[in-house]
């Protein structure tokens, strides 16, 4: 996100709370994925209480030493409450600091979003609806991406995105920046569409026709390779533009590494759930203890990691797109406001 360097008159608490919210939201998504993977969503049949207890007053020993599915589901609820409390503290911190007034609408949106996400999770329990579970799984990563962007808005780099760039670097980068920005935005859209496809496969009704399942799995695999190609192009274009600041190039590098890992995790998820494709001879027999073992520890960890990495891809792609948009906007505004001064600076650099 960048190291903050705030004027002494500004409170550092909005920055701290925004980073804390990001740090808690990712584990929340991970545990939420584990709830679905282990089919623990209805382990606690009531909401907002837990077996009739206030969630905060549910006996710790019962939760810690109780059944695994109750442990996971109740833990997911507690993490959700923690994120909600942090969003409340962030809102208070922003409203108490006049210098951060530009973020007031954003923190209110974050507070409303996390509240609606909690209500959606509660309705999923009360109605035991698979569709609501899928929506809950899709809106969580969207909130995670928004939390990342909100944290970025509190950084010094957002205020002055050009402070690391010389006039020559700006001149070298500017012609290609719009193309890279469009590619990053398209990549973000593809990442989220892929996540929705994955959630659809993951929450496919038991009574669905086999052909329906095959169709969604096919498109999920197809989009995965298209997405990998997009991220590869994005990384190559940012890598070649050496004049781009590291806070732009680094997220592109993260995306490239994560998408490779995600492809590996996707293949591993297939193997642990459905065995090797086309029954690859001796290899399938040698790994028989790890394939098609429903709700095994290895399967649960692999599938949940696949889901969590998908959320990371959403968050980082949106982060990169937003940073590129900010850099492009600042370059355009600078060239429009002081074209003569910029020209003199460029000539002096030469």
**Tens digit of pLDDT for each residue in 133-164?**
899 999 999 999 999 999 999 988 888 887 77
Higher-confidence residue of 253 and 161: namely 253
8 A C-beta contact, residue 269 and residue 306: yes
Query: What distance lies between CA 327 and its chain's CA centroid?
Result: 22
Q: How many CB atoms sit inside 10 A of residue 77's CB?
A: 22
Kindly report the number of other CB atoms within 10 A of residue 88's CB atom. 15
Where do the structural domains in the chain lie, given as residue ranges? 12-154, 163-350
Residue 8: per-residue pLDDT: 46
Beta bridge partners of 53: 50
CA distance 241 to 226: 23
Distances (CA, A) of 231 to 191, 217, 312: 10, 21, 14
DSSP 209: -
For 281-322, the pLDDT digits (tens) are 445 555 545 555 556 677 788 889 999 999 999 999 999 999
Write the pLDDT tens digit of every residue in 181-223.
999 999 999 999 999 999 999 888 878 888 998 899 899 999 9
DSSP code per residue over 79-110: HHHHHHHHHHHHHHHHHT-GGGGGGHHHHHHH
pTM listed for this prediction: 0.87
């Amino acid at each position: 996100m960048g190291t903050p360097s705030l004027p002494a008159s500004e409170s550092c608490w909005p920055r701290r709370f925004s980073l804390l919210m990001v740090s808690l939201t990712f584990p929340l998504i991970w545990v939420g994925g584990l709830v679905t993977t282990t089919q623990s969503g209805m382990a606690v049949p009531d909401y907002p209480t837990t077996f009739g207890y206030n969630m905060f007053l549910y006996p710790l020993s019962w939760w810690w030493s109780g059944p695994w599915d109750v442990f996971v589901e109740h833990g997911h609820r507690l993490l959700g409450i923690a994120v909600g409390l942090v969003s409340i503290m962030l809102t208070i911190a922003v409203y108490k600091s006049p210098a951060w007034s530009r973020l007031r609408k954003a923190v209110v949106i974050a507070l409303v979003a996390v509240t609606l996400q909690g209500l959606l999770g509660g309705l999923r329990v009360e109605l035991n609806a698979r569709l609501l579970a899928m929506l809950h799984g899709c809106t969580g990563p969207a909130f995670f991406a928004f939390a990342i962007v909100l944290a970025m808005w509190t950084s010094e780099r957002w205020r002055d995105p050009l402070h690391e760039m010389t006039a020559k670097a700006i001149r070298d980068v500017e012609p290609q920046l719009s193309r890279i920005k469009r590619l990053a935005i398209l990549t973000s859209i593809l990442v989220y569409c892929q996540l929705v496809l994955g959630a659809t496969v993951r929450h496919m009704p038991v009574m669905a026709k086999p052909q329906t399942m095959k169709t969604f799995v096919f498109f999920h695999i197809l989009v995965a390779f298209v997405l990998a190609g997009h991220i590869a192009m994005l990384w190559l274009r940012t890598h070649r533009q050496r004049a781009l600041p590291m806070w732009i190039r680094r997220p592109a590098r993260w995306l490239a590494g994560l998408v490779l890992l995600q492809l590996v995790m996707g293949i591993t998820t297939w193997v642990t759930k459905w065995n090797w494709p086309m029954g690859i001879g001796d290899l399938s027999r040698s790994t028989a203890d790890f394939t098609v073992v429903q709700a095994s520890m290895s399967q649960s960890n692999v599938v949940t990691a696949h889901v969590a990495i998908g959320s990371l891809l959403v968050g980082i792609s949106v982060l990169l797109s937003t940073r590129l948009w900010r850099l492009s906007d600042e370059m355009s505004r600078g060239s429009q406001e002081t074209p003569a001064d910029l020209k003199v600076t460029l000539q002096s650099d030469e």
